Amino acid sequence: MKLNSPVALSVLATALSVCVAPPAWAALDIGEKAPDFTVPAALAGKQYSYSLAESLAKGPVVLYFFPAAFSVGCSAEAHEFAEAIDKYE
């Protein structure tokens, strides 16, 4: 594969972004406070802005992560999580 081919450049760009990106996937220790954040979110097909600080003001928060929003597998996981929300309240 030539280094200047689109595939090689894409692989190189992906590898470099992983190397220099902050560890967004770093785990918190049990009981450790999560850093405050505001992110785009979706609920029942409607998009909105989610703020951890605003949610914590209302009570305890359960955070979970999935790597690919709006993909088939992750959308199914999020839907199942939403259906089981009573187990977390």
Residues in the chain: 89
- CA-nearest of 31, 50, 30 to 40 is 50
In a domain, 1, yes or no: no
Q: Is the pTM of this model over 0.85?
A: no
Q: Is the pLDDT of residue 8 over 70?
A: no
In a domain, 41, yes or no: yes
- CA-nearest of 79, 76, 73 to 43 is 79
The pLDDT score that the predictor gives to residue 29 is 83
Q: Is the pLDDT of residue 16 over 70?
A: no
User: Which pLDDT tens digit goes with each residue over 38-70?
Assistant: 988 877 778 899 999 999 999 988 777 767 766
Which structural domain, as residue segments, surrounds residue 22? 6-88
Number of domains making up the chain: 1
Joined tokens for residue 51: 């703020």
